A and B are shown apart, each in its own frame.
Chain A
Amino acid sequence: MLEGGGALRVEDLSVSFPPRKVLDRVSFTLAAGAFCGLIGSNGSGKTTLLRSLLGFVKPESGRLILPGAIGYVPQKIQFDADLPMRARDLVALGLDGNRLGLPLPSRRRRAAVDEMLEAVNATDFADQRIGNLSGGQQQRVMIAHALIRKPKLLLLDEPLANLDIRAVAEIVFLVRQICSTHGITVLVSAHDMNPLMGAMDQIVYLVHGRAASGRTADVVQTEVLSALYGYHIDVIRVHGRVLVIAAGAADEWPAKLDAHPAHVAAIP
């Protein structure tokens, strides 16, 4: 694992959990400050790819070149309503949670936390228990927690899962805005690409551990996705949006449709 100058490069990354090959020679490059969707259905290898980037999974082969420090938002954490932690406490843990000793009151620490809470529009509920916040509010706080150390790369594992439509739109807008402003490279995993379409600079589309990557419009195409799936895929434009469905599925919905949301996409 190397550190690159702002860009993220994944070269021929393969990961196996015998007998299964979870990632098969996955390669892509994200420019510094790019916003990229990591799209795939459950079991496609999204989490394994993220965990490889985090250093938790040892690749069988391949090379990773990271842009520097990584911020990470894991899959939804179930916060207990009785957890004695305010939103601002959780963000502060992102700043110095690895240090030994009790946290001493510090103006600089408080200012850094306040600034990050404001950046994610969480000031109004900064003093509420994290367990009492809505899913969207908790996700904003987790993003602030991940960003407070000003990482070069932000990894978000299914951050939109279980959120309502409005919260999804807010989170996508927020991450896009923060990362554009601060030049942070973002990789967001999702099984449904629809909410990310307007925000993505790039897409990494994973199917059974194999990836296609590039500009969204270049990847979400019949030829590219058919090659990836290993059978014919139709990319259909409906009302200005794009649906990705298995060939012939429209006649026999849902029997033939590979109906997971990952395979139904819309491009504005």
Chain B
Amino acid sequence: MSWIFAEGFFTSAPVQTALLVGGGAAVVSAVAGVFTIIRGQSFAGHALADVSSAGGSAAFLFGINPLLGFLSMAVLSALVMEGFGAKRAAERDLLTGIVLGAGLGLTALLLYFDVSARGTAGAAIAVMFGSMFAIAPGIVPLALGIGLGALVVIGLLYRPLLLCALNPDIAAIRGVKVRLVGLAYLLVLSLAVTLSAMTIGAILSTALLIGPAAAALRLARRPGVAIALAVLIGLGACWGGILLAYDSYDWTPGHGWPVSFFIVSLIFLAYLATGLAAPRRAPAGG
């Protein structure tokens, strides 16, 4: 088995931390990803992840916990996006785009200060593309707590989320507070992208959010099955990516390949594979 698991894989502290935090991020992102796609909020998920990079950059600049940095900016962005109360899809996308632009602008400024004032030249790479093996072990309890909190909220809102996705009017007639559910979900989404931004970086976190869910939706006929498949794919890609990145130290001695690259590549392959496995379908409503 040594040709699969390079020596020291299971005993390495950075690997253990990466497996824990990455695994948690993969599970939460996969679950949230299914609802994100069903609700047509992929762009919002991508925007929240990107905007959270401003928080990550600020954390580098001020020397605070990066998880809190990513989290505070993602939550703030979610509140702003929902606070404007956009109702139409086009209006919502427009608002998301504006928040995304403003957030990335702030990221550019903070990264500039990171480099010029603090001399942390690697901040941009770490924030945008992640540095899984550099995650501080002290972050693990908070990260897993955030993940667990997100899963509990999704579990509670499982049926109202599906009903709102089906038709908000029907949900409202049934007494569901559609706006409140939307806000709660956006906050959960911000928790999910915070975790994935911490692991594979703000820019690539969309892959962990959307990829496994999109692959699962090609195969599953039921929401519960879609979630289970997405979790398996996400977890497989994340842990597989960590393993390959660790092994890659032996491919190019002294230099390991980025974990993020392997994770998004495995997700991409899973998406292609499920496309081949999925039954051909007639157009909807035809």
Give complex CA distance A78, B167 in Å: 10
* A40 contacts chain B at the CB level, 8 A cutoff: no
User: In the complex the two chains form, is B159's CB within 8 Å of A100's CB?
Assistant: yes
Query: How far apart are B96's CB and chain A's nearest CB, in angstroms?
Result: 20
Among B37, B163, B282, B285, find the residue whose CB has the most chain A CB atoms closer than 10 A. B285
* A83 contacts chain B at the CB level, 8 A cutoff: yes
* B171 contacts chain A at the CB level, 8 A cutoff: yes
Give complex CA distance A80, B34 in Å: 13
Determine which of B160, B162, B173 lies in contact with A85 in the assembled complex, contact meaning CB atoms within 8 Å: B162
* A261 contacts chain B at the CB level, 8 A cutoff: no
* A176 contacts chain B at the CB level, 8 A cutoff: no
Give complex CA distance A133, B221 in Å: 13
Known: A78-B285, A131-B284. A54 touches B221 (CB 8 A): no
Give complex CA distance A133, B172 in Å: 26
User: In the complex the two chains form, is A72's CB within 8 Å of B286's CB?
Assistant: no
* A111 contacts chain B at the CB level, 8 A cutoff: no
User: In the complex the two chains form, is A103's CB within 8 Å of B173's CB?
Assistant: no
Determine which of B162, B170, B220, B226 lies in contact with A74 in the assembled complex, contact meaning CB atoms within 8 Å: B170
Query: How far apart are B31's CB and chain A's nearest CB, in angstroms?
Result: 12
Give complex CA distance A86, B166 in Å: 12
Q: Determine the interface band of chain B, counting residues with CB < 8 A from chain A.
A: 35 or more
Give complex CA distance A89, B221 in Å: 10
Known: A77-B166, A85-B223, A90-B166. A98 touches B286 (CB 8 A): no
- For window 27-82 of A, CB contacts with B under 8 Å fall at 54-56, 70, 72, 74, 76-82
Count of A interface residues, CB-CB < 8 Å: 39
Q: Chain B residues with Cβ under 8 A from A79's Cβ? A: 284-285
- For window 161-183 of B, CB contacts with A under 8 Å fall at 162-163, 166-167, 169-176
User: In the complex the two chains form, is B285's CB within 8 Å of A102's CB?
Assistant: no
Among B38, B155, B169, find the residue whose CB has the most chain A CB atoms closer than 10 A. B169
Give complex CA distance A98, B158 in Å: 10
User: In the complex the two chains form, is B218's CB within 8 Å of A134's CB?
Assistant: no
Residue on A nearest B282 in the bound complex, by CB: A132
Q: Chain B residues with Cβ under 8 A from A85's Cβ? A: 162, 166, 221-223
Determine which of A70, A80, A86, A93 lies in contact with B221 in the assembled complex, contact meaning CB atoms within 8 Å: A86
Residue on B nearest A130 in the bound complex, by CB: B284
User: In the complex the two chains form, is B167's CB within 8 Å of A74's CB?
Assistant: yes
User: In the complex the two chains form, is A101's CB within 8 Å of B158's CB?
Assistant: yes
Give complex CA distance A72, B169 in Å: 9
Query: How far apart are B279's CB and chain A's nearest CB, in angstroms?
Result: 9
Known: A93-B159, A97-B163. A82 touches B218 (CB 8 A): yes
* B283 contacts chain A at the CB level, 8 A cutoff: yes
Determine which of B170, B221, B223, B282 lies in contact with A127 in the assembled complex, contact meaning CB atoms within 8 Å: B221
Query: How far apart are B228's CB and chain A's nearest CB, in angstroms?
Result: 11
Known: A54-B173, A85-B222. A101 touches B155 (CB 8 A): yes
User: In the complex the two chains form, is B172's CB within 8 Å of A56's CB?
Assistant: yes
* A254 contacts chain B at the CB level, 8 A cutoff: no
15 A–B contacts from the bound complex (CB under 8 Å): A74-B169, A79-B284, A79-B285, A84-B220, A86-B221, A89-B223, A90-B166, A97-B166, A97-B174, A98-B163, A98-B171, A98-B176, A99-B159, A100-B156, A103-B159
Interface residues of A (CB under 8 A from B): 54-56, 70, 72, 74, 76-86, 89-90, 93, 96-103, 127-129, 131-135, 138, 145, 162
Interface residues of B (CB under 8 A from A): 34, 37-38, 155-160, 162-163, 166-167, 169-176, 216-218, 220-223, 225-226, 281-286
- Kindly list 9 other residue pairs between chains A and B, CB separation below 8 angstroms, not including A56-B169, A131-B284: A54-B169, A74-B169, A77-B167, A85-B223, A97-B160, A101-B159, A129-B221, A135-B286, A138-B285
